[in-house]
């Protein structure tokens, strides 16, 4: 399709029309303008989206709850194409806090009106009978959670957002997600994992077979599969410990290259008490000992393979070696660690 200047103008006009309708409280005109925004979004220039993203984010508090989630998704799409995530994120997270609160109310009402299996958080799964049980507002909070998850993850892909998100807000969001999961058995895993990502986080790694230790620093690592591959790249690929190092491409897709490639495990990840640290978890599963996360590497008990890559394809990850521990220091740390269970 040939992209013309007229399409660009229509997108800007649609956004301006949506802003005017929202500020005037004209719901019908706002709905029509939003349809126009969506229709022309694909062909908008990145420069237009970079400018429009913060404008749409600023409107979020005045948009009704249902369409508010859709606007949040559009803000996330603008950020993915160049809008400033630091400017857009505060309104996204404020909307997420409110949506999670209403979703918790949905869970409470569902339990109070007979319980049973929760419907999927999808409009198509919410029957008329279910709607009568919980009420319109609570239902909207429930069915729009996937949209808020999508918009929030678009923000959390960025280091600046993750490192400036107030700790109390992060904790509040994680607690709400935990309560919703406990009540409904619905896990919004992508959002939970994104909120758990550690940045500029020191990691003390002890390689038990060689008795050596390493101080590393990790950032933007979404799960322990990604961490495992990067550990092998830094330690085996760097010539510090024996083993089969991942290829350059296997390591690259765990940092910032697109796609996935097959890889295999080089270690068994173990915590200082001897319990396994599962690849399916996140680096937050690694316990803190004396102010630093400590991970022990043992020989792999069996061959394991998986697609090397990033749990969050839009998030850059890294693991950097800061120093090699002296023999005495490494031995002291290893002496405090239990054998694997």
Span 52-107, pLDDT tens digits: 999 999 999 999 988 999 999 999 999 999 999 999 999 999 999 999 999 999 99
Average per-residue pLDDT in the chain?
Answer: 95
Together in a domain, 171 and 249 = no
Together in a domain, 177 and 221 = no
Residue 3's pLDDT is 41
Please state the domain count of the chain: 2
**End of a domain among 165, 196, 227?**
196
pLDDT tens-digit readout, 190-248: 999 999 999 999 999 999 999 999 999 999 999 999 999 999 999 999 999 999 999 99
Together in a domain, 166 and 224 = no
Is the confidence at residue 37, as pLDDT, over 90?
Answer: yes
Is the confidence at residue 41, as pLDDT, over 80?
Answer: yes
Is the confidence at residue 7, as pLDDT, over 80?
Answer: no
Answer whether residue 263 is part of any domain.
yes
Answer whether residue 284 is part of any domain.
yes
Integer Cα distance of 267 and 228 in angstroms:
8
What pLDDT band is residue 257 in, cutting at 50, 70 and 90?
very high
Together in a domain, 134 and 248 = no
Together in a domain, 178 and 221 = no
Together in a domain, 110 and 209 = no
Is the confidence at residue 1, as pLDDT, over 80?
Answer: no
The whole-angstrom distance between residue 222's C-alpha and the CA centroid of its chain comes to 7
Answer whether residue 133 is part of any domain.
yes
**End of a domain among 140, 161, 196?**
196
Residue 4's pLDDT is 46
**End of a domain among 161, 196, 231?**
196
Answer whether residue 238 is part of any domain.
yes
Together in a domain, 231 and 297 = yes
Together in a domain, 60 and 185 = yes
Together in a domain, 117 and 139 = yes
Together in a domain, 191 and 65 = yes
Answer whether residue 16 is part of any domain.
no
Is the confidence at residue 5, as pLDDT, over 60?
Answer: no
Residue 130's pLDDT is 86
Residue 230 belongs to domain spanning: 201-335
Together in a domain, 304 and 282 = yes
What pLDDT band is residue 125 in, cutting at 50, 70 and 90?
confident
Percent of the chain residues past pLDDT 70, beyond the cut: 98
């Amino acid at each position: 399709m040939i992209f013309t200047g007229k399409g660009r103008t229509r997108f800007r006009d649609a956004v301006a029309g949506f802003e005017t309708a929202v500020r005037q409280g004209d719901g019908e005109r706002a709905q029509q303008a939003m349809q126009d925004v969506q229709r022309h979004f694909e062909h908008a220039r990145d420069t237009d989206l970079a400018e429009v993203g913060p404008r749409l984010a600023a409107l979020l508090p005045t948009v009704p709850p249902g369409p508010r989630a859709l606007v949040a998704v559009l803000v996330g799409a603008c950020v993915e194409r160049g809008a400033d995530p630091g400017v857009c994120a505060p309104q996204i997270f404020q909307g997420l806090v409110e949506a999670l609160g209403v979703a918790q109310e949905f869970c409470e009402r569902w339990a109070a009106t007979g319980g049973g299996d929760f419907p999927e958080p999808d409009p198509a799964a919410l029957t008329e009978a279910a709607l009568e049980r919980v009420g319109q507002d609570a239902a909207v909070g429930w069915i729009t959670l996937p949209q808020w998850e999508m918009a929030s993850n678009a923000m959390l892909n960025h280091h600046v957002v993750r490192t400036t998100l107030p700790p109390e807000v992060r904790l509040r969001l994680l607690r709400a997600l935990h309560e919703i999961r406990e009540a409904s058995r619905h896990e919004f895993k992508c959002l939970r994992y994104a909120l758990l990502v550690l940045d500029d986080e020191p990691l003390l790694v002890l390689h038990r077979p060689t008795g050596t230790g390493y101080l590393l620093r990790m950032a933007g690592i979404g799960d322990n599969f990604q961490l495992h591959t990067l550990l092998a790249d830094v330690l085996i690929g760097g010539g510090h410990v024996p083993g089969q190092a991942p290829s350059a491409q296997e390591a690259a897709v765990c940092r910032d290259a697109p796609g996935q490639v097959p890889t295999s495990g080089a270690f068994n990840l173990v915590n200082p008490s001897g319990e396994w640290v599962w690849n399916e978890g996140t680096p937050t599963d690694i316990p803190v000992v004396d102010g630093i996360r400590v991970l022990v590497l043992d020989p792999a008990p069996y061959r394991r393979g998986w697609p090397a890559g990033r749990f969050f394809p839009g998030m850059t990850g890294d693991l950097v070696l800061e120093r090699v521990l002296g023999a005495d220091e490494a031995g002291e740390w290893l002496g405090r660690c239990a054998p694997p269970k």
